[in-house]
Amino acid sequence: SSSSSVVVQVEQLPRLAGVGQCGNQIGSEFWKQITAEHGIGPDGLPLETTTTTTTTAPSGRSPIGAASSSPGTPSLAAPPVADRKDVFFYQADDDRYVPRALLLDLEPRVVNAIQSSEHRDLFNPENVFVAKEGGGAGNNWASGYRQADENAELLLDMIDREADNSDSLEGFVLTHSIAGGTGSGMGSFFLERLNDHYPKKLAATYSVFPNWEEDQSDVVVQPYNSVLTLKRLALNADCVVVVDNTALNRIATDRLRVPNPSVHHINALVSTVMAASTTTLRYPGYANNDLVGLVASLVPTPRCHFLMTGYTPLVVGGAAPAGDPADDDDEDDDEGDGAATTTGGPPDDDGLGPDAA
């Protein structure tokens, strides 16, 4: 099945929801990346001293697998940088930083892996939803949509609770795959309901587009799932960052020289893209300090809101950590390419697109 995530981005507070396997996996990598950038430990407590280089690269320019430093890179603590942790986190009474995130899936495997990982204490357990049946959507868009509709009241209550905790809610961000069943069907349902309940809030997505080569696809009905989801992305989303599986695998093998790229390598690429494209929201600056300003500059024509990405430099990190929820057999675990979001024509021959600013 596939997955999705919703991030609510506001001048101060965003909401991120993960739906399905793919969305929850790349969402988990994204949270690992930005906790490292903001000096937050796996348990949500602020780190007293930071010895990694990630704080010196708030735009996601640290190596793939950002939580670990790379050879030859200084390990000195970076000078303090003013950041806005409250965009993606809220601070609990015990001083822990809790992600503004929802983890939603129709089968428990990936969510259970996240809850048993090093970052198990990071997320609010009340924001985790797994269908009681636990059988997933079977790569069927209609099944994912139906099961989401059957649990609509509970899911919308979770969104409303997170939205009510925001001082200045600006929008939502959804991470998902369009090829499987959960990310496509449940993701489509979410986009429609968000459009109905929050018509004046922005809805942005990081949508994983599948491999189209016949020998690389293990989901026969992925063209149907993709077409049904694309309609909702065109009508109900304000901004869609296209994450192309084919380009990601090509980058990993041709540019990064990884013979057999794992899901960890691919997800790390996507999390770097997400972190880089949200840098202006999390760190003070003179432009694109909110989601409205960012989308307005990238989407001059409302219907033309499918964005391509570019990022440089790309660096390979270490092997997948033990207990990583990634699964090489998951079709919708593969993600898209580069970082800093841009509009325009097709990507360069290397699949990277324009360099990130």
pLDDT tens for the 357 residues of the chain, in order: 444 444 433 334 445 776 778 889 999 999 999 999 999 999 999 887 444 434 444 444 444 444 444 444 444 444 456 788 888 998 888 889 999 999 999 999 999 999 899 998 999 999 999 998 888 888 999 999 999 999 999 999 999 998 888 888 888 999 999 988 999 999 999 999 999 999 989 999 999 998 876 556 677 888 899 999 999 999 999 999 999 988 888 888 888 888 888 888 888 889 998 998 888 888 877 777 778 878 888 888 888 899 888 888 877 664 444 344 444 444 443 333 333 333 443 334 343 333 333
pLDDT at 165: 85
Contacts of 108 (CB under 8 A, 6+ apart): 130, 134
Residue 207: exposed, middle, or buried by beta-carbon count in 10 A (0-12, 13-18, 19+)?
A: buried
Indicate the pTM of the whole model.
Answer: 0.77
pLDDT at 15: 59
Asked if residues 331 and 316 have their Cβ atoms less than 8 Å apart, the reply is no
Judge residue 287's burial from the number of C-beta atoms within 10 Å of its C-beta, 0-12 exposed, 13-18 middle, 19 or more buried. exposed
In SS3 terms, 279-297 reads as HHHHCCCCCCCCHHHHHHH
Owner of token pair 């430990």? 41
SS (HEC) of the chain: CCEEEEECCCCCEEEEEEEHHHHHHHHHHHHHHHHHHCCECCCCCECCCCCCCHHHCCCCCCCCCCCCCCCCCCCCCCCCCCCCHHHCEEECCCCCEEECEEEEECCCHHHHHHHCCCCCCCCCHHHEEECCCCCCCCCCHHHHHHHHHHCHHHHHHHHHHHHHCCCCEEEEEEEEECCCCHHHHHHHHHHHHHHHHCCCCEEEEEEEECCCCHHHCCCCCHHHHHHHHHHHHHHHCCEEEEEEHHHHHHHHHHHCCCCCCCHHHHHHHHHHHHHHHCHHHHCCCCCCCCHHHHHHHHCCCCCCCEEEECCCCCCCCCCCCCCCCCCCCCHHHCCCCCCCEECCCCCCCCCCCCCCC
